Structures are given as C-alpha cells and as structure tokens.
Amino acid sequence: KAGLLGLTRAGAKELGLHGITVNAVCPGLFDTELTHANATEERLNAVKQTFPIPRLGKPEEVADLICFLASESAGYITGASFDINGGSLMI
C-alpha cells in the first residue's frame, strides 16, 4: 500500500503540468459478494461493531467518491489518498 501511495504522489507531481490529477482511493470492508463469500455473517457482525460507523460500506459510496474525483469539481485535488472505511483505521 505504501508503494502505491508513493506512486500516486509521484504521478500527481509529474502529470499535474499536463492537467492530469492522480489520487488514491483506499476502501475498507464493503458489502459485496466477495466479502460474504469469505466471512460468516457472525464474523462480519462482530467486525462491524468495532467500526465508528458500525456497518459495511456500500459499493455505491466508493463509486460516488471516484465520480467526484473524476469530475471538474475535484480539479484541484491531486496526490491525495482517500480512506473510505467507516473510520476503521482510526482504531
């Protein structure tokens, strides 16, 4: 992960002169088929209760963030990383 964040910052620095922004989206645990295939409901419920926002993320929430970053409204955001994980990294 650290290597990808370094690559994000390097890409932002190098490509900014060409009007290209580079950012990283770092998702946490999301409500997907893959998540449910690899963990029991009991385990997922236990994990969710440790999050400041006690639920799994919705795939649409990541999609909304990516759409925003791809929009002109985010044209001055570059070299940033966005943790979208319900606050799970704060604990």
State pLDDT tens for residues 49-91: 999 999 999 999 999 999 999 999 999 999 999 999 999 987 5
How far apart are the C-alpha atoms of 69 and 64, rounded to whole Å? Answer: 9
**Domain assignment present for 23:** yes
**Domain assignment present for 55:** yes
With residue 82 as reference, give the H or E element that holds it.
Answer: strand 81-84
Indicate which CATH number applies to the domain containing 80: 3.40.50.720
State pLDDT tens for residues 14-48: 999 999 999 999 999 999 999 999 999 999 999 99
| Close Cβ partners of 88 (under 8 Å, ≥ 6 residues apart) | 28, 29, 50, 51, 52
Domain enclosing residue 61, as ranges: 2-86
pTM exceeds cut of 0.85: yes
> 58 vs 16, 35, 47, 55, CA distance in Å?
31, 12, 16, 9
**Domain assignment present for 91:** no
Number of domains in the chain: 1
